[in-house]
Structure 1
């Protein structure tokens, strides 16, 4: 089970996250591309850290919404979404070429990620934005009880999927992430986070917010390094998964 983390979300004099502290303990870095957060200098610094630590680099494109941190859905045509994906991924790839890295996958950010998982047209638009890129990156999507529809669309386009679960989010019995507005939807207790990840790694399942068991076939799990406590939890997870 690989650990992935959203990174490079500072810009200008505004700082977010403890990237340098968390990057030794992850396998995959989802690097913001300037629309919901980041700027060219932050992108370059984050790419250099990932290359130095031999961490896989992924583009983390979102809606053009720094004020809302990319968490607001913004209506776009399918072509516009394809352009958003290609534009931001291409920008990160150009930075990677300066420092010996490569964009290996794309994980849409925030509202765009959520939107593509509920709207096939948006999902197809994201896929279309990747098909002409060279080398063609994989696409990270939410692991669900049945990903066959998404896999069929991606396979037809020649795009490999990476299925992602979340370390600190509760799941509904239907296999969706519980809304952040719901009590208990976000885990803050390190023991609870570690339990969920190890349950995924060993048994391929999570305990839902209602107490049932949900089977999830995940390739990677998303963790966060926003504060010293969360970084310490990620380190514990990394050591447990890599004894």
Structure 2
């Protein structure tokens, strides 16, 4: 079993409450989110690896921007579904999960290495994330690819949902696990994370309200607006933001302001 003691995992612990954001989700000349403006507001970037979104030029640009702003560089592999933006659930075997993850993780790592930077974490995108949450065989296949990133050293952290298959498989394989909370998409009353299409549209007011509640007593609200307790963490966690939201920049500003105020 691999060791959990890794300086890279310590980066999340040192920040305590961090902000991560899905970045580089345009395609060649078409840019989706306000990436350049978001980098100064976040701690960790999840860089699209060319399947659900992104391409070689965009990936390299994101790596360089992350390095410039001192932002952690995470791999954000998705399903092979550009038209559906990786948010449509596809039938995929464990072996396909493994090769799909291996292909994308290897591509980003090559760029990170070439730029003299370091990968900070791995976080799957969209429907891929939910497939791994709900299918243990698929999750184990993904983690096999994840572990291949550091064959001679401790594994990179995996960012995922506490109390789910994500955390269970990471614990069994010795992969550092970073719990993730969402504020621009919803949870059901049963504490199940909902996809973007199933969630209410995000608003700046909603982001601020959720962040304040999370930082105060680790509670949020469900899709119906009722109070909701979140799964326990180890004292540190990361809050996810989506760069493709219409209010992405304002969402990030609201989340950053809440975190900074709580740390004063």
TM-score with structure 1 setting the length:
0.90
Answer 1 or 2: higher relative contact order, Cα 8 Å, separation at least 6: 2
Question: Residue 73 and residue 10 in structure 1: after superposition, are their counterparts in 2 closer, same or farther (change >3 A)?
Answer: same
Q: Are 2:44 and 1:25 equivalent residues in the alignment?
A: no
Q: Distance in 2 between matches of 1:64 and 1:179?
A: 18
Whether the aligned pair in 1 keeps the contact of 2:185 and 2:195 (CA below 8 Å) is no
Whether the aligned pair in 2 keeps the contact of 1:11 and 1:39 (CA below 8 Å) is yes
How far does residue 195 in structure 1 lie from its aligned partner after superposition? 1.1
Residue 240 of structure 2 is matched in structure 1 by 222
Q: Distance in 2 between matches of 1:115 and 1:168?
A: 20
Whether the aligned pair in 1 keeps the contact of 2:132 and 2:166 (CA below 8 Å) is no
Q: Are 2:247 and 1:233 equivalent residues in the alignment?
A: no
Give the match's secondary structure for 1:100: coil
Residue 139 of structure 1 is matched in structure 2 by 158
TM-score with structure 2 setting the length:
0.83
Question: Residue 67 and residue 187 in structure 1: after superposition, are their counterparts in 2 closer, same or farther (change >3 A)?
Answer: closer
Question: Residue 133 and residue 180 in structure 1: after superposition, are their counterparts in 2 closer, same or farther (change >3 A)?
Answer: closer
In structure 2, the gaps of 5 or more residues are 1-16
How far does residue 106 in structure 1 lie from its aligned partner after superposition? 1.0
How far does residue 179 in structure 1 lie from its aligned partner after superposition? 5.3
Further displaced range: 125-134 or 85-94: 125-134
Further displaced range: 203-212 or 17-26: 203-212
Give the match's secondary structure for 1:15: coil
Task: Give the number of equivalent residue pairs.
Answer: 238
Give the match's secondary structure for 2:134: coil
In structure 1, the gaps of 5 or more residues are none
Q: Distance in 1 between matches of 2:214 and 2:141?
A: 30
Whether the aligned pair in 2 keeps the contact of 1:6 and 1:29 (CA below 8 Å) is yes
Question: Residue 150 and residue 11 in structure 1: after superposition, are their counterparts in 2 closer, same or farther (change >3 A)?
Answer: closer
Q: Distance in 1 between matches of 2:206 and 2:101?
A: 34
How far does residue 115 in structure 1 lie from its aligned partner after superposition? 0.9
Whether the aligned pair in 2 keeps the contact of 1:131 and 1:158 (CA below 8 Å) is no
Residue 171 of structure 1 is matched in structure 2 by 187
Over residues 213-233 of structure 1, what are the superposed CA-to-partner deviations in whole Å (9 max), with x where a residue is unaligned? 222346111113447843133
| 1:143-154 correspondence runs (5 A) | 143=162, 146-147=163-164, 150-154=166-170
Whether the aligned pair in 2 keeps the contact of 1:139 and 1:161 (CA below 8 Å) is yes
Q: Are 2:79 and 1:60 equivalent residues in the alignment?
A: no
How far does residue 238 in structure 1 lie from its aligned partner after superposition? 1.2
